Structure 1
Amino acid sequence: MPVDETLLESIRIKIGSETTHSLGPITALMIRRYARAIGESNPLYFDPEFARSRGYADIVAPPNLVTAITCWDEGPAADDLRTDGTPKTLQLEGIPTSGVRVMGGGEDMEFHAPITAGTTVVERSTMIDAELLHGRNGQFIVVRYRHEFVDDDGLPLVTSTRKVLLR
């Protein structure tokens, strides 16, 4: 599939559409595993008594935990992964990814409130923009998404704006 105005227009029809899904409760085990994986040693991420002594209900998730997890289920089997570790059937809301190379293009994050173990998180995702650009190696499309992570009462936790590149 060529990266051109036709592809851009097929993507732009999804601008403004929102999807919402529950990520479920963020567990203490998820927090600890993620903190270990990123090399953290802060006791806020591991020790409930320490976290409570600092005014939190339980251990606290590292700030970017919810934005770093790309798959909230068990994920695909190894045979269903590309060499870069992403699913062969990669699905991005509003993007026909067959025949194009999809790459991350950066992310801006705004942190509103700490996420503690036991918090149920809901993600609202909206495609906010798509544009065709010309680079040294040809045309590419930049698609921007806003992801709002809120608790089950609607309290904002994290807002991220991600860029996805199609070449």
Structure 2
Amino acid sequence: MNEIVHSRFPKITPEGLEDLRSRIGVKIENTVEPWCYEATRDNIRHYAHGIGDDNPLWCDPDYAKTTRYGDVIALPSFLFATSRIISGYVGGLSGVHAMWSGADWTWHKPISRNTTIRTEAYLKDLIEHDTRFAGRAVQQIYHVDFFDADTDELLASADSWCFRTDRDHAREKGTKYTEVRSREARGYTKDELESFFKFYEQEEIRGAVPRYWEDVVEGEDLPTMVKGPMTVTGFIAYAQGWGGLYIRANKLAWRQHVNHPGLGIENKRGIPDCPERVHWEEDFALEVGAPGAYDYGPERCSWLTHQVTNWMGDDGFLRQSKCQVRRHNPEGDIVLIKGTVLRKFVEDGRHLVEIQQRAVNQDDELSAIGSAIVELPTR
């Protein structure tokens, strides 16, 4: 007798992939409205606080007046709030789960206060994979350029990617997170928490003290940065600064579900609700094969750049950053970000440092890997 399989969610189909492939290289018109159009004082601060970054260069205008910028500037990762596409708003394959999994950034100029951001985007590539988490998956890569809308200067460029996965397969047959899902919810003693909170007490923002290229030594470590313990409150704090992808209320939520039926996944009360609730609703996260409510991908990418901007000081400039997400960080996890200077070099007259980064949780399980290239002042 054949087993009857009940599928709740749509699946990846050849027709859906063919439609997506026809979009490769085509400029996306009428992109969904971003959370932030301008790098205002409040928008910058809300994003910075959403990742736990209190650097006065982005948060304190009085301090920023004393720097070479003369005013607050946006932290590099703020640009996630100016494009839904770079943050994971994917097209095609209606109803198929999307997991944001990484980004490759290049910045060309600092982002001054009150800059209005204009973006251009296109689907860059589709790559099929066979994954431990969800079997067949599609890596959907987008490219986005960020411009100063008034001067048309290119501020930054980035590729980001999501993995599109079959939710039912991930829940029923995925193996990568079976062990994580089966473990008890993470808890800590007071002493254990204090050992992690020491990192917060000791966190150093380099600020006005220049870090000169000549003083950097290859092989030296950056101060370890801690994020967590993960809580739904923390995930919501990030969404407040970043804007989320599908968080809408009342009429706007209804309109979104009418325009994009695949997004309106019924909750336990039969009400259409957004797929983004995997970040605050544990039961739904388990339904899609995740180990529980978990952090946002762009949030984790921003944590890695936070470590670097703390280290480089006001006179440094973050040129490039890469981040690849390796696992979910469910509620209770604590993440430790470690960085090492890989090399020093000079290119086109710029004195640059390459940094290698690795983020692990409290059990030394790999959370993310990354790298950065920083331009530093010279003596």
Q: Same fold (TM over 0.5)?
A: yes
SS at match of 2:127: strand
SS at match of 1:19: coil
1:113 alignment counterpart: 109
Query: CA separation in 1, counterparts of 2:65 and 2:94?
Result: 45
**Counterpart residue type for residue 64 of structure 1:** S
Residue pair 2:37, 2:82 contacting (<8 A) in 1 also: no
Q: 118, 122, 133: which is aligned to 1:122?
A: 118
**Counterpart residue type for residue 121 of structure 1:** I
Aligned length: 147
1:157 alignment counterpart: 155
Q: Deviations over 1:138-158 (max 9, x none)?
A: 211111001111101221222
Greater fraction of residues in strand: 1
Task: Structure 2: state its 5+ residue gaps.
Answer: 1-9, 166-379
SS at match of 1:44: helix
Q: Deviations over 1:90-120 (max 9, x none)?
A: 9623x2322x111112111112211121101
Query: CA separation in 1, counterparts of 2:14 and 2:101?
Result: 20
1:132 alignment counterpart: 128
Higher relative contact order (CA 8 A, sep 6+): 1
Query: CA separation in 2, counterparts of 1:52 and 1:155?
Result: 24
Residue pair 1:67, 1:160 contacting (<8 A) in 2 also: no
Tell me the percent identity. Answer: 27
Query: CA separation in 1, counterparts of 2:101 and 2:81?
Result: 14
Q: Deviations over 1:7-63 (max 9, x none)?
A: 221111111111366853221011111222222222111222432332225211111
Report how far residue 134 of structure 1 moved: 2.0
Q: 34, 38, 42: which is aligned to 2:55?
A: 42
1:145 alignment counterpart: 142
Residue pair 1:25, 1:120 contacting (<8 A) in 2 also: yes
SS at match of 1:96: coil
Name the CA shift for 1:9/1:161 in 2 (closer, same or farther; >3 Å): same
Query: CA separation in 2, counterparts of 1:57 and 1:154?
Result: 22
Q: TM-score, normalised by structure 1?
A: 0.76
Q: TM-score, normalised by structure 2?
A: 0.36
Check if 1:18 corresponds to 2:15: no
Decide which structure has the larger Cα Rg and report it: 2
